[in-house]
Amino acid sequence: MLRSSITFHFLLDKSPILNEFVIEGDTYTATTIKDIGTDIFNSRLEIIRKNVKKVVFAFEEGSIYTTDFPWDLNEEFVVTRKASSEMSFAVENNQMLKRVDFGTSVQKISGRGFSQSGLSEIEMSNVKYASGPFFHGCHNLKKIVLPLVERIPNNFASYCFSLEYVDISGAKYIEIGDYAFGFTGNLSITFPKSLTKIGIGAFSYSRINSVTFSQSPTTLSGRCFEATNLESIEIPSSFNYDMTKSFGVVNGSSYIKKVIINTNIIGKGFAKDCVALESVIIPNANTISDYAFCNCKILPSFDLPKDLTTISNYAFAYCDVLSITLPQTKLTIGDYAFAYCFKINIESLPASWTPGKYSFIGCTSIKTIKVSADISQCQGLFQGCTSMTDLTISTSSVPDFCFACCSSLKSVTITQSVERFGERSFAKTGPIEHVDLSNVGTYKYAFENSELKSVTFGKFKNMDFAFCGCKNLEKIIFNKDTIWFDGTNVINTSKKLKFVIDEENKMFKVKDDVLTGYDYFFAILPTYSKSTYTVPKNINHLGIGCTSITTSLKEIIIDSDHVVLEQYAFTFCDYPEKITIKNFNSSKITTNTFSQMSGLKEFSCSVYVSEIGYSSFQNDYKLETVTFPFPISIIRQHAFRNCYSLKTFSCPSVTSLLESCFNNCYKLKDVSFLNTTTTIESYTFANTGIVSLTIPDTCYQIGDHAFYNTTSLESVTIGKKVIRICEYAFGNSYVESISIPNNVKYIDSSAFKNSPKLKITIESSNPYFEIKSQALYSKITKTLICTIGALPELYEIPDGIKNIQDQTLNNNMYVIETPTGSFYEGISAARLIIPSSVQSIDITSLKKVFAACYSGDYYLFNGTANYSYAGDNYHYADMFETDVRQGNCTDEELTDDFKWVTSNGAKRSSNKGLIIALVLLVLIFIALVIVYLFLPLENICHKSDGDRSVQNESINIV
């Protein structure tokens, strides 16, 4: 035995520590904890010099955590303690380590242990308790024997890719933690009878290929055998599932072919995505949970137990070849339970069943179905069942999308119990011969774009485009109880459409291709050949969309003091180009009366109208001229919104203009009708083509965004009684001059923002505002309201202004849009001169300030500048987040990269170079094209003898 000398260490250190370690051959024996502790420097050199391979831990107490010991050189660890003890290890990442022997005394192990090491052999037959990811990432470890252990901790041996054998068969009580053996090798394991729980992902992504369980009660957690190499599995009846944090048992296992599940409940996601699964035996199941067999692509038919009561959401979704017989007893079927199961074929939906949403969507083998169950909440129940031809419905309500896209549907039989067809419930269905809706009310787009051929209407109203786009619909039958027809229901149907009136129906009649009823005008048929229609004198009411189904009509004339213009009367009437009203029984045009008329160009009304209602003409894109000969009291919200082509609105005067009433009327230039207006509300004339504007003396407020983005506006005169000019009232406009009268008390800071050409004049006697050097400010508080027009490169804030708040000091410069960004047309307020009167200033709304000069001694500031200048009396060393310099704003030469500034303030010097490079490339390309077109090809591609000449001739031909 060799005792190590410490003489050398005395020379290196003033206070060496005498250790008890022993080195014999390539074995290092640690007799005290200090031998592997932080004082290891006394033995480190000896260990390295003598190439120690084996470490023996002979001390009775203590754990191994140190990183000072040269573990990376050792291949074997042996523990020789005599008394039973606990030992913690933290010596991970030792790739040299091959073997560990815990001996007979260590019964508890904890810590990160030997994770990420090269360990290949371990002796721990006496260990009863383990904690921590002890062997995590030991890629060479092949075998673990733990006959006495009570619990396998989380991540205990995960990512041990070579692990093939685990023995826990002798344990009396065993629980396997989360991911304990995840990502391991061709694992062979025998579970003890005392197994109580298998944690989340315990064997996930391991190559384990077989498992055998005892009958002891055991809890399976989610993903416990996910994506393994198992080919079969049998779950005893005593087992249960814990899917609270994750779900699945053998989910994603692409090799598994057979599962036998003896539990009453099939766990959530049990075999989800098992694409090779061919056999399922579930003799005791009463509940198949969510996703249990979802996406089992080749799972064929199998027997369902007679006591089955629940098939949950997505339970068999995307099982392409599944064909099973469902019990006719009480059964709950979840959402998407059999979605896109192409071979499922049921012939009835009995009253004992409770289906869910989209339960049978895409089941293309269903051909005939009789529905008796309550399906009122089953949206999209049979959507996309493209082979369905015959349908019988004996339930009160058909929900939204229920039979949509059943493209082969020919026969629909409806019993008297059916009362409602939901939104798009039969949209895009097949060539249905006839549907009897005598007792049924339909809702939005119920049969939209279907191939329905005929329909019978009854006592209920059919709502909102129920049959629009039904190109094959040629006959509508009104039975004796029919009392209403909505023209918008049959927009874009067959040009051969005709109405058949039951003899007992005294309401409707068809004459000269016009459908009327009592004093109602309901519709003009597609077969109507005249281009003009005058509403008869005996008509008092106009039905919804009364001219929406004819394509020949170009002009409508209304000349009756009995006619009332109801809501939506002409909505979606796309073909009339002109409407003339000579007389009607009202002083109001109501909500949406003429909206969505995509062909209307001219509208005139010869009688007095006091009010134009909400959205009355909205989205009449081609409307050019509107004429009202008498004053109008009010035009309500959105009345002419999106009338893009409106050029002329002729009316003596309008008193009140509400929100967005002329918004997006791009071609509207003349607004002389404002001469008596009292209110102009939000967005009233935003995005219009107004050139000149006079706000009358009767008006007291200009609402927010009222004239926003009026790029043609040149001059504005504001009436003497206007009190408020709200935010962005003239923002983003190109207005050049505005005169503000004395009565204006409030101007928002953004009222004229981004209007670069603007110049404002204010009467000198105005008690509230003053303008000087493009700065509009309060006379009373000396606070800047806003800057007017595009500011020059050198801008001096007028003396006397005290407070400049955020969003009041603005560039207001033109913005040029390019593929590489948004740029100001010129340099604005790059040099900013600030007078001594200013007490507080915020310059953050200026996109970029190059240099700022201040002549005072103190103020509060916010924002940044490249350079800051101040006089000798300034009290601080910095200003605008940069050091203060002596001098003035013109001392620094403006740099090129500053000249190219985007509208969001970011420097874009690279964009300048990029644009120049692109221009050069374009010029070079043009030059090459000219050379190619005007020079003979032989001067470019010289011919030579032989094969080359043949090639060149071919090129010339091409």
- Mean local confidence (pLDDT), 88-99: 79
Percentage of residues of the chain with pLDDT beyond 90: 62
3-state secondary structure of 926: helix
The gap from C-alpha 781 to its chain's centroid, in whole angstroms, comes to: 47
- Mean local confidence (pLDDT), 524-534: 94
Q: H or E element: which one contains 879? A: strand 878-879
| pLDDT given for residue 338 in this prediction | 98
Query: Nearest CA to 59 among 24, 29, 28?
Result: 29
pTM (whole model) above 0.85: no
Please return the burial class of 350, using the count of CB atoms within 10 Å of its CB with bins 0-12, 13-18 and 19+.
Answer: middle
How far is the C-alpha of 845 from the C-alpha of 44, rounded, in Å? Answer: 65
Asked if 397 and 376 count as a contact pair (C-beta separation under 8 A), the reply is yes
How far is the C-alpha of 779 from the C-alpha of 768, rounded, in Å? Answer: 5
Asked if 768 and 785 count as a contact pair (C-beta separation under 8 A), the reply is no
| pLDDT given for residue 9 in this prediction | 36
| SS (HEC) of 786-827 | EECCCCCCEEECCCCCCEECCCCCCCCCCEEEECCEEEECCC
Is a pLDDT exceeding 90 seen at residue 783?
Answer: yes
For the ranges 274-283, 751-760, 843-852, the one whose mean pLDDT is highest: 274-283
| pLDDT given for residue 947 in this prediction | 41
**In whole angstroms, how large is the CA radius of gyration of the chain?**
43
Percentage of residues of the chain with pLDDT beyond 70: 89
Q: H or E element: which one contains 279? A: strand 279-281
- Domains of the chain, CATH where assigned: 209-344 (3.80.10), 358-504 (3.80.10.10), 781-907 (no CATH)
Query: Nearest CA to 405 among 355, 360, 444?
Result: 360
3-state secondary structure of 35: helix
Asked if 894 and 850 count as a contact pair (C-beta separation under 8 A), the reply is yes
| pLDDT given for residue 14 in this prediction | 34
Is a pLDDT exceeding 50 seen at residue 907?
Answer: no
Q: Measure the N-to-C terminal CA separation of the chain; round to a whole number of Å.
A: 94
Confidence of residue 140 (pLDDT cuts 50, 70, 90): very high
For the stretch 797-833, pLDDT in tens is 999 999 999 999 988 887 776 666 667 777 888 889 9
| pLDDT given for residue 618 in this prediction | 98
Is a pLDDT exceeding 60 seen at residue 950?
Answer: no
| pLDDT given for residue 958 in this prediction | 25
| The residue to which tokens 């291709």 are assigned | 513
Asked if 737 and 757 count as a contact pair (C-beta separation under 8 A), the reply is no
- Mean local confidence (pLDDT), 862-874: 87
How far is the C-alpha of 286 from the C-alpha of 393, rounded, in Å? Answer: 29
| pLDDT given for residue 161 in this prediction | 93
Q: Are strands 287-288 and 265-266 parallel, antiparallel or unpaired?
A: parallel
How far is the C-alpha of 138 from the C-alpha of 117, rounded, in Å? Answer: 5
Q: How many CB atoms lie within 10 A of CB 68?
A: 12
Is a pLDDT exceeding 60 seen at residue 906?
Answer: no
3-state secondary structure of 198: strand
Confidence of residue 859 (pLDDT cuts 50, 70, 90): confident
For the stretch 362-405, pLDDT in tens is 999 999 999 999 999 999 999 999 999 999 999 999 999 999 99
Confidence of residue 167 (pLDDT cuts 50, 70, 90): confident
Q: How many CB atoms lie within 10 A of CB 92?
A: 21
How far is the C-alpha of 333 from the C-alpha of 829, rounded, in Å? Answer: 70
How far is the C-alpha of 840 from the C-alpha of 337, rounded, in Å? Answer: 67
Average per-residue pLDDT in the chain?
Answer: 87
Q: What is the largest CA-CA distance in the chain?
A: 128
For the ranges 8-17, 538-547, 579-588, 639-648, the one whose mean pLDDT is highest: 639-648
| pLDDT given for residue 20 in this prediction | 61
DSSP structure class, residue 941: S
Is a pLDDT exceeding 50 seen at residue 16?
Answer: no
Is a pLDDT exceeding 70 seen at residue 274?
Answer: yes
Is a pLDDT exceeding 50 seen at residue 73?
Answer: yes
Query: Nearest CA to 286 among 309, 257, 304?
Result: 309
| pLDDT given for residue 329 in this prediction | 93
For residue 676, the one-letter residue type is: T
Sign for the CA dihedral angle at 756, 757, 758, 759 comes to positive
Q: How many CB atoms lie within 10 A of CB 38?
A: 12
- Mean local confidence (pLDDT), 460-471: 86
Q: Which region among 200-204, 270-274, 817-821 has the lowest average model confidence (pLDDT)? A: 817-821
| pLDDT given for residue 531 in this prediction | 95
- Mean local confidence (pLDDT), 236-250: 95
Is a pLDDT exceeding 80 seen at residue 608?
Answer: yes
Return the structure tokens found at 461: 């109203």
Is a pLDDT exceeding 90 seen at residue 27?
Answer: no
- Mean local confidence (pLDDT), 141-155: 89
For residue 768, the one-letter residue type is: Y
Confidence of residue 18 (pLDDT cuts 50, 70, 90): very low
Q: Which region among 580-589, 721-730, 883-892 has the lowest average model confidence (pLDDT)? A: 883-892
Sign for the CA dihedral angle at 338, 342, 343, 344 comes to positive
How far is the C-alpha of 877 from the C-alpha of 564, rounded, in Å? Answer: 77
How far is the C-alpha of 954 from the C-alpha of 958, rounded, in Å? Answer: 6
Asked if 555 and 583 count as a contact pair (C-beta separation under 8 A), the reply is no
For the ranges 418-422, 635-639, 788-792, the one whose mean pLDDT is highest: 635-639
Confidence of residue 667 (pLDDT cuts 50, 70, 90): very high
Is a pLDDT exceeding 60 seen at residue 538?
Answer: yes
Is a pLDDT exceeding 80 seen at residue 886?
Answer: yes
Provide the strand spans (E) within 380-419: 390-393, 397-398, 411-414
Position with higher pLDDT, 531 vs 949? 531
- Provide the phi-psi class of 642: left if phi over 0, else alpha when psi is between -120 and 50, else beta: left
How far is the C-alpha of 311 from the C-alpha of 220, rounded, in Å? Answer: 20
| The residue to which tokens 């109602």 are assigned | 520
Please return the burial class of 408, using the count of CB atoms within 10 Å of its CB with bins 0-12, 13-18 and 19+.
Answer: middle
Asked if 375 and 353 count as a contact pair (C-beta separation under 8 A), the reply is no
How far is the C-alpha of 801 from the C-alpha of 779, rounded, in Å? Answer: 9
Q: How many CA atoms lie within 13 A of 886 on its CB side?
A: 2
Asked if 462 and 473 count as a contact pair (C-beta separation under 8 A), the reply is no
Sign for the CA dihedral angle at 929, 932, 934, 935 comes to positive
| pLDDT given for residue 828 in this prediction | 85
Is a pLDDT exceeding 80 seen at residue 63?
Answer: no
Confidence of residue 943 (pLDDT cuts 50, 70, 90): very low
- Mean local confidence (pLDDT), 918-927: 78
Confidence of residue 79 (pLDDT cuts 50, 70, 90): confident
| pLDDT given for residue 534 in this prediction | 95
Cα distances from 540 to residues 527, 564, 581, in angstroms, run: 24, 6, 14
